Structure 1
Amino acid sequence: MNENNDRGFHPTLRIKGTKSRALIGKKIVVGVTGSVSAVRIVELCRELIRYGADVYVAMTDDAKNIIHPYTLHYASGHEVIERLVGRIEHIEFLGMDGEADLLLIAPATSNTINKIAGGISDTTITLFANTALGSNIPVAIVPAMHESMYRNPILLENIEKLKKLGITFIGPRIEEGKAKIAKNDEIVLHVEHILSKKVLKGKRVLITSGATVEPIDPIRIITNRASGKTGEELAKECFKEGAKVTVVHKGNIDIIGIDEIYVESAEEMYDAVINELNLKKYDIFISAAAISDYIVNKSNTKISSNKEVILRLKPAKKLIKDVKERFPELIVVGFKAETNLEVKELIDRAIAKKDETKMELIVANDVGRGGMGTPDNDVYIIKSRDDIKHVQGPKKIIAEKIVSKLSEILKDDRVF
């Protein structure tokens, strides 16, 4: 590694923290082994940097047959560790006083995993892993190989052995006869989880998300513009902070570690939530879904398109109100969407709804100015009239602030 070059500002580092500051101050060593999935690591490195991390890459000789070190130098902003020199990089980063916060081996071949389990240190990556294990520095492994190799009982036994030693395994995804490398957003989320403060550790969180749809007939529906992005970001943030998370929605987050229940209508969402709360002990309920206020008296056959139609609507059951009445010990977070109001009126209406339903926290926003179906929002997180936080920006940042406020509520209730 060229020490003088590392002191300079590499162009790649201009993207640092542009998506999130969740990994600011964290130093991550990415170990790349000889899987064809190594081509994915360019974007993974850059995504970790977008979340604020400082990324350093080490490679095996076999990995260099797949991707050139110059490419990963560009991706990380630092020269790649191809072999150990006088700086004894495995100690510098992963020794007892090592600088690194995490060793992330991605992709990891079966050969590398088996060697780490056997304590063998004959490559840069296996040496880094065994050093980290001896220093209690977290290690995460992202397997990638053919499915037949992944199903090898010796490998599976070694994976379980390494899990018992505290190593986190991310993926793989079994598709097309291969144990494929996990998606980048999945890997980043698990990195966040490993390095977070775990303010929701031991808690179980139920979240509703996105729009519901109400059928008019077997073909047509009524719905709204909600994208489900806020609910998805809340699910990821709660998982990141150590909670067991279940999402009720008609979307698809598809992240290992987050459970999902698929529903479409307001009635299905209501029944799914009540059923979950009856079956399992949840600590927090976040109602982030834009649930239909009205249900259509639907036709069982297609309505003719050449005549005027009058739709009869009936009010849907109020989920938050019923949840709070049935499960009063549950911490409940709700949302209040209005259109084109002055800020004071928006907050007054949100507080009125919070008091009426006895929610612990409510998030208010004026969707007349944006936020519904968009990647950003402008919200007021309200715990009380004297405790209101205004947050404007990406929905990931808003989710971080909501979960931070939830951690305060848990501390106030002396849950921890």
Structure 2
Amino acid sequence: MDGRRILYVIVCGAGPAPQVDRLVRSAHGRGWGVCVVPTPAAVDFVDVAMLEALTGYPVHSRYRRPGESGRLPKADAIIVAPATYNTINKWTHGIADNYALGLLAELVPLGVRTAVLPFVNSALAANPVFMRSIGELRAMGVRVLFGPGEFEPHPPGTGGTRLDAYPWESVLDAVEGCG
């Protein structure tokens, strides 16, 4: 578009997703061009038209068909936020059954700096599979903002009370500090 660094924001279907424009606006203020990629579950959470107008890029939630236009520019960095239990576990187990997971499966091994900000409840976070997945992401060089001193899980059924406190700026700081 205009030579700016390009940030892919992968949005999952969790409570803070409708507020992803906060992250986009903040990233623009720091000189990033932003491409938003919602998971299939997140499509109903976000305002696609508003995000396309705000970013100047198409919002892709599925693979393009042969001959279809709308290719995204090359990513310099990736943020996955809010990251769900499902997406984190699928990603670390090599499941790329949607466009967002396909991008992560491809771009992270290529060294594209990546930061993740989970939004999960404490019951899901206590699952040993999830904790192994967090460890796997960190072993891959992904900056995961999760645990004491970072963003902690919320008690089941209380996620709605944490939406305004979701630290969009922290995940942007983290991806800028990666690499």
Q: Normalising by the residue count of structure 2, what TM-score does the alignment of the two structures yield? A: 0.82
Residue 175 to residue 137, structure 1, CA distance change in 2 (3 Å): closer
Gaps of 5+ in 1: 1-6, 10-23, 196-416
Deviations 1:63-102 (A, max 9, x none): 012223113223323221121114799xx66xxxx72111
Output the amino acid matched with 1:136. G
Q: Whose Rg is larger?
A: 1
Give, in whole Å, the separation in 2 of the partners of 1:134 and 1:116: 12
Structure with bigger strand share is 1
Q: Is the 8 A contact 1:104 1:141 kept in 2?
A: yes
Q: Is the 8 A contact 1:43 1:75 kept in 2?
A: no
Report the counterpart of residue 342 of structure 1 in structure 2.
Answer: none
Once the two structures are superposed, the pairs formed by residues 267-282 of structure 1 within 5 Å of their partners are: none
Is residue 75 of structure 1 aligned with residue 54 of structure 2? yes
Report the counterpart of residue 53 of structure 1 in structure 2.
Answer: 32
Q: Is the 8 A contact 2:18 2:47 kept in 1?
A: no
Give, in whole Å, the separation in 1 of the partners of 2:67 and 2:59: 13
**Aligned residue among 86, 96, 110 for 1:111:** 86
Report the counterpart of residue 172 of structure 2 in structure 1.
Answer: 188
Give the match's secondary structure for 1:116: helix
Residue 65 to residue 117, structure 1, CA distance change in 2 (3 Å): same
Report the counterpart of residue 42 of structure 1 in structure 2.
Answer: 21
Q: Normalising by the residue count of structure 1, what TM-score does the alignment of the two structures yield? A: 0.37
Deviations 1:387-409 (A, max 9, x none): xxxxxxxxxxxxxxxxxxxxxxx
Give, in whole Å, the separation in 1 of the partners of 2:76 and 2:38: 18
Give, in whole Å, the separation in 2 of the partners of 1:36 and 1:87: 35
Residue 173 to residue 192, structure 1, CA distance change in 2 (3 Å): same
Residue 161 to residue 74, structure 1, CA distance change in 2 (3 Å): same
Output the amino acid matched with 2:152. I
Q: Is the 8 A contact 2:116 2:171 kept in 1?
A: no
Give, in whole Å, the separation in 1 of the partners of 2:10 and 2:50: 14
Residue 176 to residue 83, structure 1, CA distance change in 2 (3 Å): closer
User: How far did 1:144 drift?
Assistant: 0.6
Give, in whole Å, the separation in 1 of the partners of 2:33 and 2:67: 19
Give, in whole Å, the separation in 2 of the partners of 1:185 and 1:129: 21
Q: Relative contact order: is structure 1 or structure 2 higher (C-alpha 8 Å, sep ≥ 6)?
A: 2
Give, in whole Å, the separation in 2 of the partners of 1:190 and 1:176: 21
User: How far did 1:176 drift?
Assistant: 4.9
Residue 48 to residue 163, structure 1, CA distance change in 2 (3 Å): same
Report the counterpart of residue 129 of structure 1 in structure 2.
Answer: 104
Q: Is the 8 A contact 1:132 1:139 kept in 2?
A: no
Residue 156 to residue 175, structure 1, CA distance change in 2 (3 Å): closer
Give, in whole Å, the separation in 2 of the partners of 1:39 and 1:191: 21
Q: Is the 8 A contact 2:39 2:98 kept in 1?
A: yes
Give the match's secondary structure for 1:166: coil
Report the counterpart of residue 45 of structure 2 in structure 1.
Answer: 66
Equivalences, count = 168
Q: CA RMSD in A?
A: 2.6
Of all paired residues, the percent bearing the same amino acid is: 23
Is residue 26 of structure 1 aligned with residue 26 of structure 2? no
Give the match's secondary structure for 2:17: helix
Output the amino acid matched with 1:42. D
* Structure 1 stretches of 4+ moved >3 Å: 86-89, 178-182
